[in-house]
């Protein structure tokens, strides 16, 4: 896949309740790296954490050993971001306890599928999705929205253990408590998985300000209106942010859309 066939757009908004925006996002089409972080901490600490994590993660990927497989490169970049945020928090008392989520899509060459019966079955591209915390990656394909990542959160663990239903999780007072974050501890492990995409597929990276009050059905409805062209992706980002704000805007919301073909 050539980079000319990849379109992207992103948007970030503080929401309607909070004064500041602790989210931070970055996109490098040339590098093929797209990142969203949702910071946390007192005062401006969340803003510091999210920006530092994005910049360190992206730089570590860019300077990393290309001979190392992509999964390990992403793991190393996440560890570098974790070290940077953790150390800065230790050095400055005002930043103590800060941290951030992270979700990233890294463009890779499409896999060669030996069992593919036709060229139409071969994916146009492969993204490697890395994440820490509850910022999410979704795939929108042919009218259907699929959650790619699995939240590192208390309610997700409760659901996996059969102790809580999805409906209960949606209203649980623990629904915003994450179990893994960049900078919260001296070490962190990012979850990494491949995501093969075809022509017309849309990849969505988002902070939890999007899905906090907005249902998957509502998100899919917005994505269904996106047409061809980068301008339509930009309008889609604005529409997603507006939709999140329309149901309360209780949190910062950041969205990054990617489309192949």
Are 78 and 130 spatial neighbours (Cβ–Cβ below 8 Å)? yes
pTM over 0.85: yes
**pLDDT surpassing 90 at residue 230:** no
Q: Residue 74: its pLDDT value, please?
A: 97
Give the pLDDT band (50/70/90) at residue 162: very high
Report the alpha-carbon distance of residue 221 to residue 247 in Å, rounded.
Answer: 15
Q: Residue 185: its pLDDT value, please?
A: 96
Beta-carbon contacts of residue 252 (< 8 Å; ≥ 6 apart): 12, 13, 14, 15, 18, 20, 21, 22, 23, 38, 207, 209
**pLDDT surpassing 90 at residue 206:** yes
- Tens of pLDDT, residue by residue over 27-43, are 999 999 999 999 999 77
CATH of range 11-111+121-147+180-260; options 3.40.50.720, 3.60.40.10, 3.30.300.20, 3.40.50.2020: 3.60.40.10
Stretch 31-57: mean pLDDT: 95
Stretch 21-25: mean pLDDT: 98
Are 154 and 169 spatial neighbours (Cβ–Cβ below 8 Å)? no
Report how far apart, in Å, the C-alpha atoms of 76 and of each of 56, 68, 123, 186, 187 are.
11, 10, 27, 14, 11
Are 26 and 51 spatial neighbours (Cβ–Cβ below 8 Å)? no
């Amino acid at each position: 896949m050539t980079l000319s066939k990849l379109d992207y757009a992103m948007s970030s908004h503080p929401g309607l309740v909070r004064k500041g925006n602790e989210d931070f996002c970055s996109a490098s089409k040339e590098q093929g790296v797209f990142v969203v972080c949702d910071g946390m901490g007192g005062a401006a600490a969340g803003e510091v954490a999210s920006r530092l994590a994005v910049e360190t993660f992206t730089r570590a990927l860019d300077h990393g050993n290309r001979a190392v497989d992509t999964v390990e490169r992403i793991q190393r970049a996440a560890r570098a971001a974790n070290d940077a945020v953790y150390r800065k928090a230790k050095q400055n008392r005002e930043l103590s306890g800060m941290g951030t989520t992270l979700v990233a899509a890294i463009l890779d060459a499409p896999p060669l599928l030996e069992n593919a019966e036709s060229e139409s079955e071969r994916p146009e591209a492969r993204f490697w999705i890395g994440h820490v915390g509850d910022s999410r990656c979704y795939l929108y394909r042919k009218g259907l929205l699929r959650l790619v990542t699995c939240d590192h959160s208390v309610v997700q663990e409760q659901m996996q253990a059969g102790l809580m239903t999805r409906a209960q999780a949606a209203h649980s007072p623990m629904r915003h408590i994450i179990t893994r974050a960049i900078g919260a501890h001296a070490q962190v492990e990012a979850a990494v998985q491949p995501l093969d995409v075809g022509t017309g597929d849309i990849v969505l990276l988002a902070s939890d300000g999007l899905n906090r009050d907005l249902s998957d059905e509502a998100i899919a409805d917005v994505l269904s209106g996106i047409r061809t062209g980068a301008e339509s992706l930009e309008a889609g980002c604005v529409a997603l942010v507006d939709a999140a704000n329309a149901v309360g805007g209780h949190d910062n919301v950041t969205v990054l859309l990617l489309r192949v073909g």
